[in-house]
Amino acid sequence: MKTKFPVERFQQLETPFYYYDLDSLDQTLHEVATLAGQYGYRIHYALKANANVPILKRISALGYGADCVSGYEIRRALETGFSPSDIVFAGVGKADWEIELGLDHGISCFNSESVQELEVINEIAARKGVKARVALRINPNVDAHTHHYITTGVEENKFGINPWDREQVVRFLTMARNIEFVGLHFHIGSQITNYDVFKGLCIRINEIQSWFASQMLMAKSINVGGGLGVNYSDPDGNGPDFKTYFEIFKHHLDLQPGQEVHFEPGRALVAHSGSLISRVLYVKEGIKTHFAILDAGMTELIRPALYQAFHLIQNITSSADGKLYDVVGPICESSDCFGKAVYLPETHRGDLIAIRSTGAYGETMSSNYNLREKAKTWYSDEIQSNDPSK
Ligand code: LLP
């Protein structure tokens, strides 16, 4: 869906800021919820992608569950309308207070990643006189063919229970009195655009699930994680293809009667709805290109610096003939660069630049390096209601 920027209104606002197109967000959320309903799939939205309160309220209102990776995210999910029975808690290093918080609220399930963690969960649950529902996060050793830093499902990664630990896990679970085994969990990486990877995941899940069944551990749910990628080159085009994605699981995942399938998308639901809006502070001559120096930097959006991630960059106030610019931020780091040799219309001090598809892992990964303050956030409905001309 095409985002139309209210440029005149933007001119009056302090930059940089994050802008969310709620119509585009709503459309994606509705479409995916309807589709998941048709397949009987359950979706837990991964809060780490974007945890802004108005966005979470929209997501919870449509019946999505929440995938949290910290006690702070669990609190935020509870505050924004997710029911405890729809909250799952993952993460390779859950602190004791976070486990206690999850148990006190009776969350749906802990996705556990090691024998030692299972022991701690069991111990804390025993102390509280409750049973913790636990799914095992298994490292399936499937390569997601995505950026090295966001690959999580191969054996060299810290995530999940490795094959050599499985027997010990089974022995422990059969003894643990305060743990109820509810399912198997997988997540192999993020920004996956090659759909064959998901087929490979299904095949591996089938093998792993048979092994657990042979050990008399029957999973009520299979959680296949998140990871569906978006097309960063085309923020206004059709969003990620959830139908093709769901079909792969329908065809390739062997399910037992009554078994539920859970998904945990983050990026695919929210990325395209957000843009980082920034002003050009200065334009400087470089050797091969020009530098467009923005008032937003890696403090607001670290993805290009951290993963060499591509985001479409648009000058939304100029349409003059263009040339090549290195679009950089004001932070004292050479990696503070949003794009090299980007073709933009002739750009001047004061022009507004939109960095697109930043709704996922933009604000949530921002920092206050150089003691910078957090960028403001605007939603399309506020902008409209604040606009004196409307
Ligand atoms: N479930 C688990 C267990 C995860 O670790 C993640 C993401 C998700 C679900 C959601 O994945 P998604 O559908 O958003 O791909 N900061 C990086 C992405 C890191 C993802 C970490 N885990 C980025 O900016 O690309």
CA dist 349 and 352 (Å) reads 9
Residue 276: give its domain's CATH number: 2.40.37.10
Q: If you average pLDDT over residues 122-147, what whole number do you get?
A: 91
SS3 17: strand
Ligand 1 centroid to residue 49 C-alpha, Å? 7
Residue 154: pLDDT band (50, 70, 90) is: low
* Number of domains making up the chain: 2
Q: Does residue 107 register a pLDDT over 60?
A: yes
Q: If you average pLDDT over residues 82-107, what whole number do you get?
A: 97
The pLDDT value recorded for residue 155 is: 66
Ligand 1, atom nearest to 137 Cα: 3
* Higher pLDDT pick, 320 / 374: 374
* Contacts for 165 with CB less than 8 Å, ≥ 6 apart: 114, 115
The pLDDT value recorded for residue 151 is: 66
- Ligand 1 touching residue 329 (CB < 6 A): no
Query: What is the pTM (predicted TM-score) of this model?
Result: 0.96
Ligand 1 centroid to residue 210 C-alpha, Å? 27
Ligand 1 centroid to residue 52 C-alpha, Å? 16
Ligand 1, atom nearest to 192 Cα: 15
Boundary residue ending a domain (223, 249, 265): 265
Query: Is 190 inside a domain boundary?
Result: yes
Ligand 1, atom nearest to 185 Cα: 3
Range of the domain at 196: 90-265
Ligand 1 centroid to residue 229 C-alpha, Å? 10
State which of 28, 47, 48, 142 you would mutate to test the pocket of ligand 1, scoring each by most atoms of that ligand within 8 A of its C-beta: 48
CA dist 202 and 249 (Å) reads 7
Residue given tokens 């993020």 in the structure block: 190
252 and 281 both lie in a single domain: no
Which of these, 287, 228, 239, lies nearest to 28 by C-alpha position? 239
Boundary residue ending a domain (234, 265, 296): 265
The pLDDT value recorded for residue 389 is: 40
